[in-house]
Amino acid sequence: MGQITKNKQNTEKELTKILFNLLLKYRNESAYRNRSFYNDLISDNFQDNYILHQMSSIPYPAKLYKGLKESLFITGDEYRNIMGHTWRTILKKESDELLDADYSEKLVAASKVLAQGVSFFGSFEKLGIWLRKFNPFLDARPIDLLTTIPGSEIVSDELERLYEGSLA
């Protein structure tokens, strides 16, 4: 998976493919349930603020929001708190129907945390457990911080610290 170049040729299709690969395609394929895939995804896409900005400003299909909910093992209420719209909103949509780009920033922020978490913990299940446990360093459950972009960045920073071993 090569890095997307920083130019105006980044198409919505290329940017959507990044999240599609994370949230749907590789989630259930055991060959890709390894840390190197997620490490590459993070270093190629989620560390670059320019790419994050581009990813956050385009509409995504409903199936990616469904993939996020399934990947994080979150309830409908947790989904609503994180995304700012109800799970019912997504269920009413066709799989390929695009949601308003206003929701994209939170989808991208939560996807970044998902990629980092799977990279560190090695599975979606272990990440889901960690997200729900009270973290004394954060003074909150990580999942409760995902409700805002700054909160998602705090969780992202915590995962980065864990990955680097500063709190291990």
Contacts of 21 (CB under 8 A, 6+ apart): 1, 41
Token pair of 44 as six digits: 């190629």
pTM: 0.80
What 3-state class would DSSP assign to 157? helix
* 20 contacts 64 by C-beta, under 8 angstroms: yes
Please tell me the distance from the alpha carbon of residue 26 to that of residue 13, in angstroms, as a whole number.
17
Q: What is the mean pLDDT of residues 145-160?
A: 94
Residue carrying the six token digits 């989630």: 27
Q: What is the mean pLDDT of residues 60-88?
A: 89
Residue 27 pLDDT exceeds 90: no
Q: Which residues pair with 140 in a beta bridge?
A: 135
Give the long-range contacts of residues 134-143, CB within 8 A, separation 24 or more.
Answer: 137/167, 142/113, 143/72, 143/74, 143/78, 143/82
| Domain residue extents for the chain | 12-164
Q: 109-146 pLDDT, tens per residue?
A: 998 898 888 888 888 889 999 999 999 999 999 999 99
Q: Which residues pair with 135 in a beta bridge?
A: 140
